[in-house]
Amino acid sequence: MAELLEQEYNIPIEELNTALSGGMFVHVRNMLDSMPTSDIALLLHSSPPKSRTVIWQLIDSSIQGEVLEELSEDVRNPILRSMTPEKVAEAAGNLDDDDFAEVLRGMPDTIYRKVLKSMDKRDRKRAERVLSYEEDTAGALMNTDTITVRPDVTVDVILRYLRLKGALPEATDYLYVVDKDEKFIGEVSLAALLTSQPVSLISEVMETDFEVIPATMEETEVASLFERYDWISAPVIDENGLLLGRITIDDIVDVIRENAAHSMLSMAGLDDEADTFAPIVKSTQRRSLWLGVNLFTALLAAFVSSLFESTLDELAFLAVLNTIVPSMGGVAGSQTLTLVIRGMAVGHVTQANQRWLMGKELAIGFYNGLIWAVLIAGVVALWKQDLMLGAVIAFAMMMNLIAAGLSGVFIPLMLKRMNIDPALAGSVILTTVTDIVGIFTFLGTATWLLI
Amino acid sequence: MAELLEQEYNIPIEELNTALSGGMFVHVRNMLDSMPTSDIALLLHSSPPKSRTVIWQLIDSSIQGEVLEELSEDVRNPILRSMTPEKVAEAAGNLDDDDFAEVLRGMPDTIYRKVLKSMDKRDRKRAERVLSYEEDTAGALMNTDTITVRPDVTVDVILRYLRLKGALPEATDYLYVVDKDEKFIGEVSLAALLTSQPVSLISEVMETDFEVIPATMEETEVASLFERYDWISAPVIDENGLLLGRITIDDIVDVIRENAAHSMLSMAGLDDEADTFAPIVKSTQRRSLWLGVNLFTALLAAFVSSLFESTLDELAFLAVLNTIVPSMGGVAGSQTLTLVIRGMAVGHVTQANQRWLMGKELAIGFYNGLIWAVLIAGVVALWKQDLMLGAVIAFAMMMNLIAAGLSGVFIPLMLKRMNIDPALAGSVILTTVTDIVGIFTFLGTATWLLI
């Protein structure tokens, strides 16, 4: 049975592709009709840009909105551009507040205006409201589908009301209690409603030591609160304590995943690129910026080497060894940098302990420097039968690994203070430092001692 | 108010540290008593190893178990070693099943046996059961605190039963319906209980198009199902369809965060290191393996250079330029590698589309190669007034960027097929390839055309 289930969860991408390229559109449409929207979204993400348009047109228009909501911006925008403004307005109008805001925000300006025009008045009002909160804040992440109750009614009244209502919004685990000015004063869990006596008043069963989220809080901070306190949903309030809406865990999971992907991609200089199957020209453009920055730093390193051209001319073997010390410094520095960036992201690295951290990484740089200096000295001395050459490269290795450890802590802390994303800029600055220190100490010491 | 709240969420690490180093232990104890356990865990993660032991002893023993559950293995193990087996048994006995299993699994063998001995019979039985599921599977992630009901009773009976019970397990959003053989046959949401008429039968209001998780499913797969379907909890069954327990979203959030951290740290060769403040000797050891691998590959690259020693001897400026092409190849290759590793992790890269991906990266390598070949040729030709030298480096650049794109797709796919973690081994293999291809084409073409 277990195997059967795991099979079921795999999406038949291959079968779909074969059917698509064979022009069996009716078959594809039938397959799509039987798939949940999240699977269709995954399928679109896994397909080349050209197939995406074809697949999109085969999706039943009644579920296009739901699929849209689960697509990343990179995949969604070309699809939005291929639709008429009326269709977009219709699909987007059915979305939750937070997804509605995200789709609107992701639209190119010209399309956005056309879509807004073809919306009815109610949706246009709603668009204004959801867009009034800044992107990446709690306000932009929340939905307004809360159920609010008053403190002075009995549990029984609420139970009757809910039975009349017939269904609750998704992921509802709390009803919110507000006073007559809509001010948030407490919350009642569904579990409490079920386990309390019907005659109890809401004010008796509600929790009042609640935590609330201000609408202006940044979404990464909201996510770390959810993680820390194991919340499933949390109320969002404005600056006067009025209830605005709620944030649910499924949106937080998306934030956590996106942030993790962002850190990882940023460290490879892929700030903007998350779509593995983006068109070639777009990908080339996005990646070339980073390659350009790297070419500049590589030329800088070459320039440092060129200062020692006469030394290299006299002793060609130095050129052979010239890449070893910078390479080791780059790896050691990246290790420290990655740990510090992660430590900052999860809140372990703060003002209070950064001096201690600097001391630790200095010590590790020293010990690792010692280990690899001795080893490389031995290898080089044996290879070239030259003890002095071994000593020169050992010294450079030692210096560079210490520089790598210190830079690995200092650079991200400094960048953060300057409000620059350390994951994006950190590694290029770091390798520039370790390249230059490595080449300079190696060729400099060699010029001094060997020539 | 918003500012006030954000303040409140910051942990007073600095104040605590000052109090600690000042020996004001009573003050520290008072501060710890007023903090939620998750904040105490964060504080321990943010403190150097020595302070951790001191802080631990100041934590009220009634909440030590809860704190223990929120610590990462690296921080938890030294603390467990400092406690008596009886204390450990007591603290662990109060944990949820999944945390209980995690703590037991994390213990060094000698301690584990002592702890097991000092447990009462019930806890020892429980230990056996939770440890019977393999680590990182659904079985190891689940709790057994489910509420099960029979299909042939009315909603009203269940409501009475819950009122008698008085409280539900944390994050309960569904009651599970089982037949008389404990076979899982459906689920009823709390929302359905609240909105249904009391006279309805459970069999009428239960959902039967449920999804269940087999106990043997890997936790990463469980996590991607939770993400895809926005679950808050999900039932776990054995191979005969019997209900074993349930997995809740808070544990899934931990899995997602840990996997993300693992990918990021692995790519920097930090497979095992997640504790920013681990002791120096431990950190040095952990990082040295990766540095050793890198030294080996750096020596390999140096060896390739040494094949062209006479060329370098004749034309020293080649040594100056020798680092540029490998460096560009390394960056371009890492970009592709990172995208592919992430694409595989989120399920976008599969057997079905890898050929298309290879073609895409080949094309990007070609276009980027063209751009940077032209640019570097220009720079070198101007710098040294040597058109031929410019042509040589341009050719090497072109070749290496194409090799980088192809390796960036091929290496992780190959590693995955060999069941090796691409995040860990991918980048070192990739840079070895780009270093060797870069040096070989540059110095090789130079030897052929310039000497």
HEC profile of chain A: CHHHHHHHCCCCHHHHHHHHHCCCHHHHHHHHHCCCHHHHHHHHHCCCHHHHHHHHHHCCCCCHHHHHHCCCHHHHHHHHHHCCHHHHHHHHHCCCHHHHHHHHHHCCHHHHHHHHHCCCHHHHHHHHHHCCCCCCEHHHHCECCCCEECCCCEHHHHHHHHHHHCCCCCCCCEEEEECCCCEEEEEEEHHHHHHCCCCCEHHHHCECCCCCEECCCEHHHHHHHHHHHCCCEEEEECCCCEEEEEEEHHHHHHHHHHHHHHHHHHHCCCCCCCCCCCCHHHHHHHHHHHHHHHHHHHHHHHHHHHCCHHHHHHCCHHHHHCCHHHHHHHHHHHHHHHHHHHHHHCCCCCHHHHHHHHHHHHHHHHHHHHHHHHHHHHHHHHHHCCHHHHHHHHHHHHHHHHHHHHHHHHHHHHHHHCCCCHHHHHHHHHHHHHHHHHHHHHHHHHHHHHC
Q: For the domain that residue B91 is a member of, what is the CATH number?
A: 1.25.60.10
User: What average pLDDT score do residues A245-249 get?
Assistant: 92
Cβ of residue B21 closer than 8 Å to a chain A Cβ: no
At B309-318, the pLDDT tens digits run 999 999 999 9
**Contact yes or no for B295 and A324 at CB 8 A:** yes
Same domain, A232 and A111: no
Cβ of residue B419 closer than 8 Å to a chain A Cβ: no
Cβ of residue B451 closer than 8 Å to a chain A Cβ: no
What's the pLDDT score for residue B354?
A: 87
pLDDT greater at residue B131 or residue A429: A429
Q: How far is A389 from chain B (nearest CA, A)?
A: 15
Q: How confident is the model at residue A5 (pLDDT cuts 50, 70, 90)?
A: very low
Is the model's pLDDT at A334 over the cut of 90?
A: yes
* Pairing of the two strands A174-178 and A148-149: parallel
pLDDT > 90: what percent of chain A?
47
Query: B interface mutation test: which of A39, A262, A283, A337 has the most B CBs within 10 A?
Result: A283
Q: How confident is the model at residue A407 (pLDDT cuts 50, 70, 90)?
A: very high
How many domains in chain B?
A: 3
Name which of B191, B291, B338 is nearest A265 (Cβ-Cβ): B338
- Residue labelled with tokens 């450990």: B88
Contacting residues of A for B318, CB less than 8 Å apart: 319
**Contact yes or no for B270 and A166 at CB 8 A:** no
Q: Among A140-149, B52-61, B112-121, whose mean pLDDT is lowest?
A: B112-121
Is the model's pLDDT at B370 over the cut of 90?
A: yes
User: What average pLDDT score do residues B366-392 get?
Assistant: 95
On whether residue B317 sits in a domain, the answer given is yes
Q: What residues 62-101 of chain A have any CB closer than 8 A to a CB of chain B?
A: none
Last-in-domain residue among A75, A107, A138: A138
State how far the Cα of A202 lies from the Cα of A149, in Å rounded to an integer. Answer: 8
**Contact yes or no for B291 and A221 at CB 8 A:** no
What's the pLDDT score for residue B224?
A: 86
What's the pLDDT score for residue B17?
A: 76
User: What average pLDDT score do residues B264-284 get?
Assistant: 81
Is the model's pLDDT at B365 over the cut of 60?
A: yes
Same domain, B124 and B196: no
| CA B170 and chain centroid, separation | 25
* Pairing of the two strands B243-248 and B233-237: antiparallel
Name which of A172, A319, A338 is nearest B268 (Cβ-Cβ): A338
State how far the Cα of B149 lies from the Cα of B180, in Å rounded to an integer. Answer: 10
Cβ of residue B349 closer than 8 Å to a chain A Cβ: yes
**Contact yes or no for B309 and A326 at CB 8 A:** no
Same domain, B288 and B258: no
Last-in-domain residue among A209, A239, A264: A264
Q: For the domain that residue B230 is a member of, what is the CATH number?
A: 3.10.580.10
**First CA to last CA distance, chain B:** 75
At A170-207, the pLDDT tens digits run 889 999 999 998 899 999 999 999 999 999 999 999 99
**Contact yes or no for A327 and B294 at CB 8 A:** yes
Q: Based on the number of CB atoms within 10 Å of its own CB, is A181 exposed (0-12), middle (13-18) or buried (19 or more)?
A: exposed
Cβ of residue A257 closer than 8 Å to a chain B Cβ: yes
What's the pLDDT score for residue A1?
A: 33
What's the pLDDT score for residue A136?
A: 87
Is the model's pLDDT at B88 over the cut of 90?
A: no
pLDDT greater at residue B240 or residue B96: B240
User: What ipTM did this prediction achieve?
Assistant: 0.84
- Which pair of tokens denotes residue A167? 């269904």
User: What average pLDDT score do residues B300-309 get?
Assistant: 94
Name which of A290, A349, A353 is nearest B331 (Cβ-Cβ): A290
Q: What residues 201-230 of chain B have any CB closer than 8 A to a CB of chain A?
A: 212-217, 221, 225-230
**Contact yes or no for B14 and A352 at CB 8 A:** yes
**Contact yes or no for A257 and B162 at CB 8 A:** no
On whether residue A69 sits in a domain, the answer given is yes
Same domain, A224 and A308: no
- Which pair of tokens denotes residue A128? 């204004």
Same domain, B296 and B390: yes
CB B23: neighbour CB atoms within 10 A? Answer: 10
- Which pair of tokens denotes residue B199? 């006279």
Residues whose CB is less than 8 angstroms from the CB of residue A302 and which lie 6 or more positions away in sequence, other chains included: B320, B321, B323, B324
At A26-48, the pLDDT tens digits run 888 888 888 888 889 888 988 88
- SS3 string of chain B? CHHHHHHHCCCCHHHHHHHHHCCCHHHHHHHHHCCCHHHHHHHHHCCCHHHHHHHHHHCCCCCHHHHHHCCCHHHHHHHHHHCCHHHHHHHHHCCCHHHHHHHHHHCCHHHHHHHHHCCCHHHHHHHHHHCCCCCCEHHHHCECCCCEECCCCEHHHHHHHHHHHCCCCCCCCEEEEECCCCEEEEEEEHHHHHHCCCCCEHHHHCECCCCCEECCCEHHHHHHHHHHHCCCEEEEECCCCEEEEEEEHHHHHHHHHHHHHHHHHHHCCCCCCCCCCCCHHHHHHHHHHHHHHHHHHHHHHHHHHHCCHHHHHHCCHHHHHCCHHHHHHHHHHHHHHHHHHHHHHCCCCCHHHHHHHHHHHHHHHHHHHHHHHHHHHHHHHHHHCCHHHHHHHHHHHHHHHHHHHHHHHHHHHHHHHCCCCHHHHHHHHHHHHHHHHHHHHHHHHHHHHHC
What's the pLDDT score for residue A2?
A: 35
Same domain, B304 and B217: no
Closest CA to A364 of A409, A319, A322: A409
State how far the Cα of B367 lies from the Cα of B398, in Å rounded to an integer. Answer: 9
On whether residue B272 sits in a domain, the answer given is no
User: What average pLDDT score do residues B167-196 get?
Assistant: 92
**Contact yes or no for A167 and B335 at CB 8 A:** no
**Contact yes or no for B328 and A229 at CB 8 A:** no
What's the pLDDT score for residue B296?
A: 94
What's the pLDDT score for residue B204?
A: 94
Evaluate whether B83 touches B53 at the Cβ level (below 8 Å). no
Last-in-domain residue among A264, A294, A324: A264
Same domain, A301 and A444: yes
What's the pLDDT score for residue A6?
A: 41
At A267-317, the pLDDT tens digits run 888 876 667 888 888 888 888 888 999 999 999 999 999 999 999 999 999
Q: Among A198-207, A361-370, B278-287, whose mean pLDDT is lowest?
A: B278-287
State how far the Cα of B361 lies from the Cα of B337, in Å rounded to an integer. Answer: 10
Q: How confident is the model at residue B6 (pLDDT cuts 50, 70, 90)?
A: very low
Cβ of residue B47 closer than 8 Å to a chain A Cβ: yes
**Contact yes or no for A264 and B269 at CB 8 A:** no
Name which of A298, A343, A372 is nearest B327 (Cβ-Cβ): A298
Domain that holds residue A186: 148-264
Q: How confident is the model at residue B134 (pLDDT cuts 50, 70, 90)?
A: confident
Which long-range contacts (C-beta less than 8 Å, at least 24 apart) are formed by A11-14?
A11/A35, A11/A39, A11/A42, A11/A43, A11/A46, A13/A43, A13/A46, A13/A47, A13/B350, A13/B352, A13/B353, A14/B350, A14/B351, A14/B352
* Amino acid at site A64: Q
CA distances from B393 to A304, A320, B201 (A): 18, 17, 79
State how far the Cα of A355 lies from the Cα of A378, in Å rounded to an integer. Answer: 35
What's the pLDDT score for residue A342?
A: 87
Contacting residues of A for B337, CB less than 8 Å apart: 268
Cβ of residue A249 closer than 8 Å to a chain B Cβ: yes
On whether residue A41 sits in a domain, the answer given is yes
CA closest to B172 among chain A residues: A191
Q: How confident is the model at residue A10 (pLDDT cuts 50, 70, 90)?
A: low
On whether residue A270 sits in a domain, the answer given is no
Name which of A283, A337, A379 is nearest B364 (Cβ-Cβ): A283
CB B313: neighbour CB atoms within 10 A? Answer: 17
Contacting residues of A for B214, CB less than 8 Å apart: 1-2, 5-6
Same domain, B374 and B258: no
Contacting residues of A for B40, CB less than 8 Å apart: none
On whether residue B35 sits in a domain, the answer given is yes
Q: Among A165-174, A357-366, A380-389, B390-399, whose mean pLDDT is lowest?
A: A165-174
Cβ of residue B146 closer than 8 Å to a chain A Cβ: no
What's the pLDDT score for residue A272?
A: 65
Is the model's pLDDT at B53 over the cut of 90?
A: no
Is the model's pLDDT at A395 over the cut of 90?
A: yes
What's the pLDDT score for residue B211?
A: 83
On whether residue A143 sits in a domain, the answer given is no
**Contact yes or no for A319 and B324 at CB 8 A:** no
Same domain, A312 and A441: yes
At A68-82, the pLDDT tens digits run 888 888 888 888 888
CA closest to B358 among chain A residues: A277
**Contact yes or no for B291 and A372 at CB 8 A:** yes
Is the model's pLDDT at A13 over the cut of 80?
A: no
- Residue labelled with tokens 């609010």: A148
On whether residue B141 sits in a domain, the answer given is no
Same domain, A202 and A308: no
Cβ of residue A295 closer than 8 Å to a chain B Cβ: yes
pLDDT > 70: what percent of chain B?
97
Same domain, B131 and B27: yes
What's the pLDDT score for residue B5?
A: 39
At A102-143, the pLDDT tens digits run 788 777 777 778 888 888 888 888 888 778 888 889 998 888
What's the pLDDT score for residue A3?
A: 36
pLDDT > 90: what percent of chain B?
47
Q: Among A218-222, B77-81, B161-165, B430-434, whose mean pLDDT is lowest?
A: B77-81
Q: How many CB pairs under 8 A join A and B?
A: 391
Q: For the domain that residue A328 is a member of, what is the CATH number?
A: 1.10.357.20
Same domain, B170 and B37: no
- Which pair of tokens denotes residue B311? 């060329």
**Contact yes or no for B195 and A165 at CB 8 A:** yes
Is the model's pLDDT at B4 over the cut of 60?
A: no
Cβ of residue B409 closer than 8 Å to a chain A Cβ: no
- Residue labelled with tokens 């969002």: A236
Cβ of residue A120 closer than 8 Å to a chain B Cβ: no
**First CA to last CA distance, chain A:** 75
pLDDT averaged over every residue in chain A: 88
CA closest to A271 among chain B residues: B335
pLDDT > 70: what percent of chain A?
97
